[in-house]
Amino acid sequence: MPGRLARTLCTAVAASVVAASPALAEPAPGTGTAPGAPARVEAPQSVPGLLKRLQTLYQEAEKAGERYNGTAEELKKRTAEAKKLNTQLAAARAALTGARQDAGRLARAQYQGRTGFSVYLRLLLAPDPQRALDQSHVIARAQAGTTATVDRLSGAEERAEDLAAKARAALARQRELTKREKEQRDTVQARMRDVEAMLASLSEEQLAGLTELEGRNTAAAQNALVASGALSSTPRTPSEQGGEAVRYAVEQIGKPYVWGAEGPESYDCSGLTSTAWAAAGRAIPRTSQEQWRRLPHVPVSALRPGDLVVYFPEATHVALYIGDGQVVQAPRPGTEVKVSPVASNPLLGAVRPDPGGEPLAAYTPPELPDGAADGADTGYDAPDAG
């Protein structure tokens, strides 16, 4: 199903509820919240307005978190690359030292006159030309060795210079990514302070209203998705690896959401999905955006357990499909890994990490723990707020 249709289906009811709520005014230039500064909270009074504002804040935080995750992943790769280059550079410098020592010995031998005449001159002047001819191959090898020594020195110098330049470039890139990672971490923390400030401003009555409205919106979006026929009711079996990914994800239910976390004690959304598939023996991209961009897309109507369901227009959230219209997800800060309806957030589409995997002939889904579906799907149900 096209992403535009899916998003329309999943957001239709929510949009009708919040349409009448006050619009969120854009801050005047220079009045926005600076990273690290306390949020200036002006929460709308209506429950739909509160829900819309909180969803906006969480989406901003998750976008920033996924950008941070992407940079952190690239930094890991560049750090490994720099380490490899430094190892190669050390070996090249050792080879260069050896080549210079060989060249030094050759230079000393030439200076001391031990290099001798050429093969042809030896043949011309030798008292026994036949013996000189028999030894010519030895002399030729010695001359070839001299040439090889010079060539080896030249090649070692070029390789060492090339690797040194690459190592310097890798170090510069590593420093740039480290700086960017810190800036993105600060942005995420600032966004989360905005959320915390808004939650702290709400009463218990407002929080209860938010939870109730979110539940109604999610149920309506799920019903609309099923009614449209876009979500097939035909049970499908996973591949062997898909079944392993599902089992792993279900075992994580109840663990807290922590942005940037990849387990085993806590997860963010893409940390859960990437680690679940890694546990099944298949490496997939770390972030939801890269999972959406690089993994093969499949129609939502063809979902099978183990597939990944991606949410929001910018692919900033992801969950793992477990069958029967349900996903396992790490929803937002303040929640735990849980089971949710597939339409708990606005759908973008679905991807399959193992498109070549053959479906199992028979499959028994893992048993869900008690309370697996408890808790808010959007992560603002904070017990300390109010």
Q: Determine contact, residues 213/61, Cβ cutoff 8 Å.
A: no
pLDDT tens by residue, 96-106:
676 566 556 65
Average confidence score pLDDT of the chain: 75
Q: Determine contact, residues 380/195, Cβ cutoff 8 Å.
A: yes
More confident residue, 179 or 251: 251
> In the chain, pLDDT over 70 holds for what percent of residues?
68
Q: Which residues contact 296 (CB under 8 A, 6 or more apart)?
A: 351, 352, 355
Q: How far apart are CA 23 and CA 333, in angstroms?
A: 25
Prediction pTM value: 0.60
Q: How far apart are CA 221 and CA 32, in angstroms?
A: 33
Nearest to 100 by CA among 110, 89, 92: 92
**DSSP, residue by residue, 192-205:** HHHHHHHHHT--HH
More confident residue, 251 or 89: 251
Q: Determine contact, residues 270/311, Cβ cutoff 8 Å.
A: no
pLDDT band at residue 231 under the 50/70/90 scheme: confident
pLDDT tens by residue, 329-373:
999 888 899 999 999 988 999 999 999 999 999 999 999 999 999
pLDDT tens by residue, 10-31:
333 333 333 333 322 333 333 3
Q: How far apart are CA 295 and CA 298, in angstroms?
A: 9
Residues making up the chain, counted from first to last: 386
More confident residue, 269 or 21: 269
What's residue 76's pLDDT? 78
pLDDT tens by residue, 212-225:
888 888 888 898 99
Please determine, for residue 283, whether its predicted confidence score (pLDDT) is greater than 90: yes
Please determine, for residue 192, whether its predicted confidence score (pLDDT) is greater than 80: no
Whether residue 296 is preceded by a cis peptide bond, meaning omega within 30 degrees of 0, is no
**Mean local confidence (pLDDT), 201-221:** 82
Q: How far apart are CA 266 and CA 263, in angstroms?
A: 5
Which tokens is 23 given?
Answer: 């619009």
How many other C-beta atoms are found inside a 10 Å radius of the C-beta of residue 159? Answer: 17
pLDDT band at residue 154 under the 50/70/90 scheme: low
What's residue 295's pLDDT? 97
Whether residue 129 is preceded by a cis peptide bond, meaning omega within 30 degrees of 0, is no
pLDDT tens by residue, 302-324:
999 999 999 988 898 999 999 99
User: Looking at this protein, which amino acid is placed at residue 78?
Assistant: R
**DSSP, residue by residue, 335-376:** -BSEEEETTSS-EEEEE-S-TTPPBPSS--PPPPPTTTT-S-
**How many Å from the N-terminal Cα to the C-terminal Cα in the chain?**
41
pLDDT tens by residue, 162-174:
777 877 887 787 7
More confident residue, 292 or 74: 292
Distances (CA, A) of 24 to 27, 61, 91, 305, 340: 9, 17, 61, 38, 28
What torsion do the CA atoms of 13, 44, 42, 184 make, to the nearest 10 degrees? -10
